[in-house]
Amino acid sequence: MHKNTIGGVQMPKVEQKQTVIDAIKETMEGASSIVLVDYRGLSVEEDTELRKALREANVTYKVFKNSMMKFAFDGTEFEPLQQHLAGPSAVAISYDDPTAGPRVLLKQSKAFKNLEFKAGVVEGTYYDESTIVKIAAIPSREELLSKLLGSIKSPISSFARIVKAIGEKVEEEGKATAAEIAVGASVEEAPAEEVAVEEVVAVEEAPVAEEVKEEEKTEE
């Protein structure tokens, strides 16, 4: 049976092309990002490892004819990629995490020198070869959330230690509330300043008293 037949009837070339275009469009449905790469020079082993890494990240990796992709991109947010459809081209299509595809490709490109970025569209924004690499370097959402929680956890832990210390001091000193401890701490620090102020006042008042006594003696 001919490879371009359906039910034993050969399909016209126009219909064959439309079938491929529709298949590409179907693959693009729900895509949050698409990255074009040049895979020329990759070995079979490297290509297999690349596909495996992308699949594990829930990224679809396909190789289509440039002419078919051009028709599929036409009128969509991925239309800017048409200008890069020259030479061997493969697409990495991400769905849930828009940076998943770019991130995996960047990691693999460091090991596979023949894998090169062409361009990409991430969440509706077009990026050329140099800028898509920067997008690829952005950590995953999980990593960002982990770092955020880590930064929040530190002050919370410090606060918890302070509360615990106050509770222990309450038990040791028999004070009714944590407020008393805070007041007690401020009172303990206050005398040093008050003494200093009293000394200054005393020094300033002393000359006045002596001057009064001298005036009284003079009048006598």
What is the per-residue pLDDT for 2?
Answer: 47
Give the closest residue to 116 by CA, choosing from 143, 84, 144, 83. 84
Enumerate the domain spans of the chain.
5-138, 139-174
Under 8 Å CB-to-CB from 217, ≥6 apart: which residues?
Answer: none
pLDDT at 4 > cutoff 80: no
pLDDT computed for residue 42 by the predictor: 95
Measured at the alpha carbon of residue 165, what is the angle toward residues 160 and 170, in degrees to the nearest 5? Answer: 125
pLDDT in tens, 10-47: 556 778 889 999 999 999 999 999 999 999 999 999 99
- Please say whether the beta carbons of 17 and 69 come within 8 A: no
Structure tokens given for 74: 């036409």
For 90-126, what is each residue's pLDDT tens digit?
999 999 999 999 999 999 999 999 999 999 999 999 9
Q: Residue 195's pLDDT band (boundaries 50, 70, 90)? A: very low
Class of domain 5-138: alpha beta
Query: Considering the entire predicted model, what is its pTM?
Result: 0.61
pLDDT at position 37 is 97
The whole-angstrom distance between residue 208's C-alpha and the CA centroid of its chain comes to: 70
Q: What is the dihedral angle through the alpha carbons of 140, 146, 150, 153, rounded to the nearest 10 degrees?
A: 140
Q: Is pLDDT above 50 for 206?
A: no
Average pLDDT over all residues of the chain: 78
Q: At 34, give phi and psi (nearest 5°).
A: -135, 130
Residue 16 is encoded by which pair of tokens?
């064959």
Can you tell me the distance from the alpha carbon of 120 to that of 66, in angstroms, rounded to the nearest whole number? 15
- Dump pLDDT digits (tens) for 61-94: 999 999 999 999 999 999 999 999 999 999 999 9
